[in-house]
Structure formats: structure tokens, C-alpha cells
Amino acid sequence: MNGKSWHDWYVEERSAGERIADRITNFVGSWPFIYLHIVWFGVWLLLPVEPFPFGLLTAVVSLEAILLSTFIMMSQNRQAERDRRQAKADYETNLAAKVEIEDLQQRLVRIENDKLDRIVKILAEK
């Protein structure tokens, strides 16, 4: 992997649109987003922007909900892909560790057999 982790590759491979969608999703899931909407709705309701039943506000909020849900879905899809890559990297690491452990076990068996052969040889000499 050239010294880069799977996460480094994942971050570098994102397109500009994916990075923007991730930033929007990160903002949407934050307290500043909530505060912004509290202020926005408060101003809309307290100032005579439009009369009740607030048709324009309803349309804007509906459009915002459509766009935000799309961005969230895009981020969730990327998160699922990221999780698949992490699982694959973990699997490959586990396979490499298994091979190394098996090699170490074989070396330990050889060392143990050599020790036993030496003990038998020493006992046979006596």
C-alpha cells in the first residue's frame, strides 16, 4: 500500500462532490445547524416575512429536507463503502497475521524437536 492506510486511500479517492456532500452532512449533524434554524424560523415567524400558513417557508423547508436527505444518503453510501474497505483491509491483515503465526508455530515446533533430540542424545551418552 506504499505506506498509506486504507483510510488514506479512501480520503484521497473521494470526488469534489463527495467531499462537499460530506461537509454538508457534517454540518447538518451539528449544533450550529440547529441554532441556525432556530434563528431562521424565529426571524421568519417574528418578522412579517409572509402571512400564515407560511407557504414559502414550507416550500423552502421541504426543498431543504429533500436535498439534505439526499446528501445524508450519499454519505451513508460512502460510509458503507468505507466500512467494506476497512473490513477487506482487516481481513488481509488477519490473513497475513495467520501466515506469520503459522510460521512461528512451525519454528517453535522445530526448536522443541531440536531440544528433545539434544536431551535424548545427552541421555543416550550417559
Residues 3-24: what's their mean pLDDT? Answer: 83
Cell of 89: 483491509
Q: What is the pLDDT of residues 82-110, one digit of tens each?
A: 899 899 999 999 999 999 999 999 999 99
Angle at 80 between CA 78 and CA 86, to 5 degrees: 105
Please count the CA atoms within 13 angstroms of the CA of 16 that sit on its side-chain side. Answer: 0
What distance in Å separates the CA atoms of residue 14 and residue 37, rounded to the nearest whole number? 29
Q: What is the DSSP string of 36-61?
A: HHHHHHHHHHHTTSS-TT-HHHHHHH
| Residue carrying C-alpha cell 483491509 | 89
Question: Which pTM value belongs to this model?
Answer: 0.66
Count helices and strands in the chain by DSSP H and E runs: 4, 0
Q: What is the pLDDT of residues 48-92, one digit of tens each?
A: 889 888 999 999 999 999 999 999 999 899 889 889 989 999 999
| Cβ–Cβ under 8 Å, residues 22 and 14 | yes
